[in-house]
Amino acid sequence: MLERMDDLTSCSLSYVASILGGKWKPFIVWYLSMAPGKRARYSELRKSIPYDISHKMFSQHLSELEQVGIIERVVVEVKPLRVDYLLTEKGISFANVLYFIRDWGAAYGGFSAETLQRTKGTMGEGVLVYGSGPHSYRELPLRVGELGLVHRHELKGALHGLFRVRCFTQDDAHIFMTPDQMKDEIKNVVKLFDEIYSTFGLTYQIELSTMPEDHMGDEKDWKFAEDTLQAAITEMGKDFIINAGDGAFYGPKLDFHLADSLGRTWQCGTIQLDFQMPERFDLEYVGEDGEKHRPVMIHRALLGSIERFIGVITEHFAGAFPAWLSPVQVKLLPVTDRAMDYAKNVAAQLDSQGFRVEVDGRNEKIGKKIREATLEKIPFMLVVGDRDMEAGTVSVRTRRGEDLGAMPLDEFAAVLREVVDEKQKI
């Protein structure tokens, strides 16, 4: 069940270990939590530990967990003595922390892909923020976001540049709302997706993933959630396809598959409706009727893995990022050493206006400098020589080979400002 363990001490799961008083105890709680209420024998629990632990030490762990009320020992037979162990209500609460605390995948690197999919998110933090105090319906929707670090133990042969890595950052957000706010919040998130993706010139296809066989909650809630997702995107005029049975274990979802310039698709954004986590963590709000109600939760990632998204747009633009996005927007190319100080002065003026500028001060021919800057796909090259120094101008070239001629620096700066502010695809 557990093939290997990476670095337990670097994982947030150490928080749980500190509460329970020993680093192997969380494994016992995790094992019993896989089927709450199910009894496990001593030998089964021993097998769940990916370490050669002595009988004495393991028995001590069980005894201590029993003393603090995490597990319960049930005598099955007296002669010969046989006992089973199961989680108490307090133990189930700790198991919830095990499931949803961030980064625990770093420690449980050998879990199956399915288990990692269940645990890779940062939903635990959003739930803890919401659960830190009482809430009124007037506060909802409550939106909580973060850039969270996520670990997945990908097999070595599956690693693929920035597209599939073992540790990545996810732009995660969780929205807590009333049931009648669901449709509007879904639409708002889709509008945000439209704004961001269109800025990069990316198109997408929406996939509605429905209830899997291994799911939590009532089918009635699932049906309501699926209908709400479908109604929201249909009212917005969006096309979608059904991916039957591929929803998360806690709710249906909308996956946004981006198409790059080569026609390949990448799953980046996602919107997931969740009725189960608010129930499992006992989240509440006081409604207009003065009674306590259960909120609904949206899990939202826009770019998804930021590393993967960087890979997508790098290949989409073939490295020729538009000027507003390019790491270097302008490169100064002095023709001779005499123009070096002038080039540095021009670069300083552009830098003071917030542009990203470099100076190629090498003692090379100007043709070679232009060719290399073009291959580096720098949006604008400013060639400066003796005449430019005398006239206070810059000679402008683009990476597409266009020669825009000489112009005053202020005029070029105004052109560049317009290109950047309007996010033109130049």
Token pair listed for 269: 């954004």
Which of the pair, 207 or 104, is modelled with greater confidence?
207
What's the helix, strand, coil split of the chain in %, to 5? 40, 25, 35
Is omega for the bond preceding 334 within 30 degrees of 0, making it cis?
Answer: no
pLDDT of the residue at 97:
58
Residue 115 has pLDDT above 60, yes or no: no
Token pair listed for 31: 């094992």
Q: Read off the pLDDT of each residue in 157-184 and give the average, rounded to a whole number.
A: 87
User: Could you tell me whether strands 380-384 and 393-398 are parallel, antiparallel, or unpaired per DSSP bridges?
Assistant: antiparallel
Percent of the chain with pLDDT over 70: 80
Judged by average pLDDT, the poorest of 16-20, 83-87, 133-137, 221-225 is: 16-20
User: Using one digit for the tens of pLDDT, what is the confidence trace for 366-423?
Assistant: 999 999 999 999 999 999 999 999 999 999 999 999 999 999 999 999 999 999 999 9
Reported as a pLDDT band with limits 50, 70 and 90, residue 284 is very high
- The pTM for the full model equals 0.68
Token pair listed for 111: 């879990």
User: How many residues are listed for the chain in this entry?
Assistant: 426
pLDDT of the residue at 9:
28
Distance between the two ends of the chain, CA-based, in angstroms?
Answer: 52
